[in-house]
Amino acid sequence: MQAEQKIFKYPYPYFLEIGGELPGFELTYTTYGERNADDSNIVWVCHALTGSSNVAEWWDGLVGEDKYFDPAKYFIICVNVIGSAYGSTGPLSINPKTREPYYRNFPTVTVRDVVGAMELLRQELEIRKIKICIGGSLGGQQALEWAVEVPDLCEELILIASNALHSPWGIAFNESQRMAIAADPTYAEDHEDAGSMGMRAARSIALLSYRNYDTYNFTQARDNPDQIDDFRASSYQQYQGDKFVKRFNAFSYWVLSKIMDSHNVGRNRGGIVHALGLVKAKTLVLGIKSDLLFPLSEQQFLARHIPDAVFQEIDSLYGHDGFLIEYKQLTQVIRAWQETNGQLQTARIG
């Protein structure tokens, strides 16, 4: 499977939703497959919080050779969002005005800003329509925002474990992670490893929202009933924190968590219900029964207020992370929905 990673350079001031600007930006994006002349095979994947544009790596059960989204059939594109750590303009990028990295001075970016940047890339690539726009979690927030902002762009919209408005519950989890980062005194310093130990703790907090009680009981059970220390659950949290520090930076993690907090499709659009009513794409909404971070009620709300949307529920031991793990169930429901031309009845799958 041939993947092509490219960089889109926007050399003009980019004005942000809440004020301020970026003096230009770059977006790293990856494509797979061949684009049809009529744009009838484009699948645009929006990645989640700490994802990259290499969707075939982190969603390899859905994207790749002989997978549901096969590059032999589809032209697949994924863009690393502004603020991230995988090639697009972010806190470690050089601010052309100061000739120094932004670090903590990176401007506040919203989901709407992220989507606006992708829209500029779409126009540059002269993509007239998107066959399928799909995303989970923060990726679903982006996909939904785009479908509201440019209603005629996407033919099909697939939203997985996402919402119309980021909840106080989700914001509280993100704030707790930012508190952990800020408690690391090195976060006040100007170098790319600043705040790493705080981010390590923040990732441990995040995992508790991505999984759930049953996940840990099953995967991190005690080694023996008399154990009093060195628990598997403890070493797992330490391991995940260490692994994350090797691939990310605290500045981007802070910015991305704020992006997620900003999500509200109803802002300055007459409210959430009115905004959801603007969606024209044929829409499938997927929720995960065990998801603590984005509970089913949020996906049910989307399906009630997006015109003619279909809601499906899947089971997973893995909570919110089920959208990255339950490939078989996701493939099953997406295939059934497409084969029935979007007429699949709301049901529980799994």
Active site residues: 137, 291, 320
CA end-to-end distance (rounded Å), the chain: 30
Q: Cα 152 to the chain's mean position, in Å? A: 22
Cα dihedral 286→17→122→38 (10° resolution):
60
Strands 154-160 and 75-79: unpaired
What span, in angstroms and rounded, lies between the C-alpha atoms of 248 and 84?
Answer: 9
What element of type H or E holds 293? Answer: none
How many helices (H) and strands (E) the chain has is answered by 12, 13
The secondary structure of residue 47, as a DSSP letter, is P
Residue 272, both tokens: 């959430």
- The reply, when asked if residue 203 is annotated as ligand binding, is yes
Please state, in angstroms and as integers, the Cα–Cα distance from residue 143 to each residue in 58, 61, 119, 146, 208, following that order.
18, 20, 11, 5, 25
**Is 104 marked within a binding site?**
no
Kindly give, in sequence order, each residue whose CB lies less than 8 Å from that of residue 295, ignoring residues fewer than 6 positions away: 287
Contact 158, 132 (CB under 8 A): yes
For residues 215 and 221, the answer to whether their CB atoms sit within 8 Å is: no
Tell me the backbone φ, ψ of residue 264, rounded to 5 degrees.
Answer: -165, 100
Q: Where are any strands of DSSP class E within 51-113?
A: 75-79, 94-95, 100-101
CA distance 119 to 113: 10
